[in-house]
Amino acid sequence: MSRANSTSSRVAEFLFRFREVAILGVIIVVVGLTALKTPAFAGLSSIQQILTNAALFILLAIGETVVIVTRNVDLSVGSTLGLSAFVVGDLYTHHPGTNMVLAFAVGIGVGVLCGALIGVVVTLAKVPSLVVSLAGLYVYRGVLNIIGIGVQIEPTSIPMSLQKIGFLNVLDLPWIFVIPFVLVIVAHYALRAFRANRELYAIGSNPTAAELAGIPVAKRVFWAFVVSGAMAGLGGVLFVAEFATVNATAGTGYELLVVASCVIGGVAIFGGAGTVLGAAFGAILLQVINQSLVVINVSPFWDQALAGALILVTIAVDRLLTLRVARAVRLKEEASHG
């Protein structure tokens, strides 16, 4: 293997192994370029706004990553978040003295139930997750429309103790961001440290081989959807904290941005690779681009176009890196046996 090919393979292997570093680099570049035009864009208040806007998507991306690495997808997260948010808001409307811990438990419980229903159908009925979660998206949104039609949860119904999570800062970081950030660190460690979680990657790489190796595929996939639902349920509670108002449209369209965050963050759409840290950086990058377009006076409609373009580029680059790394590994093995 030539020196040029060897260097190229090493670069590809580095990028493949440390995709998060590449995404973080892109974030820094976009912020830096935008700050050249508007220095305030790199200021504390602007960064806080970006992190606040990214918080819910980071939270949903945790659960979505767990699902995608098993070679599945959960398109119901936006509707689950909306349903959870409305149930929590309605709880406070009719029971003003509700303990905040109970409110979090109820919101997460709604999400767990929604995720479990999809997980059961996917694993027992063997129906593709794309179909099941798409159906879940419409079913949960339909339920929300039925119970929430013409209803608007007002800020006066939401206790200030919960609303403070949406606007207070800790060490100059928004509380609404700190919670998902802590969960990202915990999930990132858990996916690497525990065998049951590492098996999710084995399932995504080759479900048949994983089953032959004795991995309880159906059980692992079911719990992946439960985790995704739980994150969406928690997201519903934080939605109430951030906006202090809820109606039947809450969470609409979130699922596509969440999947985009994961893919852009290096989570392989075909399963078996990716981290929640990368997905979190993907969510932040999308918000940085969104805010950057506003600053340079570009129509916000370009935001979705750029997100779609980034998905295509990321998938193409990911495929290229995968092939290069596989080729480098094969050549090393041939050299060692030669």
In the chain, the domains with their CATH numbers are 3-337 (1.10.3470)
Residue 322 has pLDDT above 70, yes or no: no
Output the CA–CA distances (angstroms, integers) from residue 220 to 122, 224, 264, in the order listed. 12, 6, 25
Q: What are the tens digits of pLDDT across the range 259-318?
A: 989 988 888 888 888 899 999 999 999 999 888 888 877 776 676 677 677 777 766 766
Nearest Cα neighbor of 63 from 276, 273, 219, 282 is 276
pLDDT confidence of residue 22: 81
* pLDDT at residue 331 tops 80: no
Q: What are phi and psi of 246, to 5 degrees?
A: -140, 140
Tell whether the model's pLDDT for residue 11 goes beyond 50. no
Categorize the per-residue pLDDT at 328 as very low, low, confident or very high, splitting at 50, 70 and 90. low
Three-class secondary structure of residue 173 per DSSP: strand
Q: What is the model's pTM?
A: 0.88
> Of 97, 116, 60, 73, whose CA–CA distance to 232 is shortest?
60
| Contact between residue 282 and residue 260 where contact means Cβ atoms under 8 Å apart | yes
**pLDDT higher than threshold 60 for residue 158:** yes
Tell me the C-alpha distance between 237 and 105, whole Å: 9
Close Cβ partners of 193 (under 8 Å, ≥ 6 residues apart)? none
> Is residue 10 pLDDT above 70, yes or no?
no
Q: How confident is the model at residue 12 (pLDDT cuts 50, 70, 90)?
A: very low
Q: Is the pLDDT of residue 1 over 50?
A: no
